[in-house]
Amino acid sequence: MLKQITITGFGGQGVVLAGRIVGQSAALGDKRESTLVQSYGPESRGGACSAQVTIADGPIYFPYIQNPDILVCLSQSGYDKHFATLKQGGTLIIDQDLVRPHGAGDCFAVPCTRFAEELGNKMMANIIMVGFFTAITEAISLDAARRTVAESVPKGTVEKNLQAFERGWEFAGATLKGRRHKAAGQIGVVA
């Protein structure tokens, strides 16, 4: 198994933390190899940033990613910069309120910023995205991701962040269920 993941957005969205949670979940929780390479501009907030995570069953000899299997975009500028690098047939995941995927074809979309605002803190959009990512890609296990989220967020915010993670996870479940019904030719709401 080899998964190369690029998470992109702008400073202040928690892109690097999301990448660290994914990589740490794979390494410590799932007992796989993982690397994290982070990139951000000189501005801490508002500037472009990305996290590149590689997960593998064996040694990883080169941590830099040129063509990710999975691209997660939390900003339009991140999408514009990185979409052309996504492998043919790769998985695109976007924040549906912040990214307009022109010409992208099929993608998975979650309103993570809106959900975070509904939960009372838009700074948790990255955790919602990690929950969504975990369910959609199965690149990391649910238990490892939950445990790593709990260990990675500030003390006193663990419950709220786990609630945010679950919101993303549940939305992904509903998304996948809807796609299965659509593929089976079922139309309308199915319980």
The strands making up 108-110's β-sheet, listed across from edge to edge, are: 33-40, 48-56, 2-10, 70-73, 91-95, 108-110
Domain spans in the chain, listed from the N-terminal domain onward: 2-183
173: pLDDT confidence band, cut at 50, 70 and 90?
very high
Rounded to 5°, the CA angle 108-111-114 comes to 170
Tabulate helix, strand, coil % of the chain (nearest 5): 45, 20, 35
- Residue pLDDT, tens place only, 34-47: 999 998 765 556 67
Residue with tokens 């309308």: 188
Query: What CATH number does the domain located at 2-183 have?
Result: 3.40.920.10
More confidently predicted of 51 and 189: 51
What is the average pLDDT score of the chain? 92
110: pLDDT confidence band, cut at 50, 70 and 90?
very high
pLDDT of 12 reads 85
- Residue pLDDT, tens place only, 64-97: 999 999 999 999 999 999 999 999 999 999 999 9
Rounded to 5°, the CA angle 142-147-153 comes to 120
The HSE-up count of residue 91 (CA atoms within 13 Å, CB side) is: 19
Per the DSSP assignment, residues forming a β-bridge with 72 are 7, 93
